[in-house]
Amino acid sequence: MKTRDKILLSSLELFNEQGERNVTTNHIAAYLAISPGNLYYHFRNKSDIIYEIFQEYEKLVDFYLDIPENRPMTLDDMTFYLESVFDGLWSYRFFHRDLEYLLDRDQRLRHDYREFTNRCLASISCIFEKLADGGIIEPQPESLRSAMSLNVWMIITNWMAYLKTAHVATASASLTIRELKQGIYQVLTLEIPYLMPAYREQVMSLREQYRPTMSGHEEGAEMKEG
């Protein structure tokens, strides 16, 4: 593996484990057993490392949200999208953990993240449209589809912050991928009012696989359902 790629991989690992603000370029160089000068040969500063890591994350999510155009969408497709997006969120969790701070610090990142968000919202809206074409949910007007897409995006991008701030027992260092994927329960809860009767039982069963186990989550979700 090339040194540049090693720097990106190791930086991502350290940022995820320790938090981006706690990791310096010197820490990264020491972790790789290379000189700081060698690191600076490939990247001018830590912001450049973060920006390139984001570009990799962006490509991954764009790949996950490649919507098939030649067939209706199935429940398996929907599960794949949800699992994949939350897997990506886990792999790059430092980014959403400190999102506002990172965007404020780098205008390139702020600009690209805005475009990334718009693409994701368009993809989520397309997923809802395809789910309607597949007879899984009721057809929706574009305005409702857009609002639901934004709600889904807000859950995905803020679920980690919710876990971090609302539950003392879930500090960012001890967060597990299982807890992160409990956000899928919240996303599926949004779809319940629009499910077609033939798919309601299957989706409800799927949702149960992600039911949050920490106190307080279930009550909030059940209030939404009711």
CATH of the domain at 50: 1.10.357.10
Asked whether residue 122 carries a pLDDT value surpassing 70, the answer given is yes
Residue 56 sits in the same domain as residue 142: yes
Residue 52 sits in the same domain as residue 109: yes
pTM of the model: 0.86
The mean per-residue pLDDT over the stretch 117-122 comes to: 96
Residue 80 sits in the same domain as residue 140: yes
Residue 205 sits in the same domain as residue 130: yes
Single-letter code of the amino acid located at 92: Y
Q: Which runs of consecutive H residues, i.e. helices, occur in the chain?
A: 3-18, 25-32, 36-42, 46-64, 75-91, 93-97, 99-105, 107-133, 142-166, 177-181, 183-191, 197-208, 217-225
Coil, strand or helix at 80: helix
Q: Identify the residue with better confidence: 38 or 219.
A: 38
Residue 2 sits in the same domain as residue 96: no
Q: What is the pLDDT of residue 66?
A: 84
Asked whether residue 173 carries a pLDDT value surpassing 60, the answer given is no
Residue 28 sits in the same domain as residue 63: no
Residue 40 sits in the same domain as residue 51: no
Q: Identify the residue with better confidence: 185 or 70.
A: 185
Token reading at 151: 């709600």
Rounded Cα distance, 122 and 125, in Å = 5
Name the pLDDT band for 223 (thresholds 50, 70, 90): very low
CATH of the domain at 21: 1.10.10.60
Number of separate domains in the chain: 2
Coil, strand or helix at 173: helix
Coil, strand or helix at 137: strand
Name the pLDDT band for 115 (thresholds 50, 70, 90): very high
Do residues 113 and 85 touch, judged by C-beta distance below 8 A? no
Q: What's the CA angle centered on 81, arms 76 and 85, to 5 degrees?
A: 150
Residue 111 sits in the same domain as residue 160: yes
Per-residue pLDDT reduced to its tens digit, 25-83:
999 999 999 999 999 999 999 999 999 999 999 999 999 888 888 888 899 999 999 99
Per-residue pLDDT reduced to its tens digit, 95-114:
988 889 999 999 999 999 99
Residue 2 sits in the same domain as residue 35: yes
Distant-in-sequence, close-in-space partners of 168: CB < 8 Å, separation ≥ 6 = none
Residue 27 sits in the same domain as residue 135: no
Single-letter code of the amino acid located at 226: G
Residue 126 sits in the same domain as residue 221: yes
Residue 38 sits in the same domain as residue 57: no
Show the domain range for 2.
Answer: 1-44
Q: Which of 150, 149, 167 is nearest to 213 (CA)?
A: 167
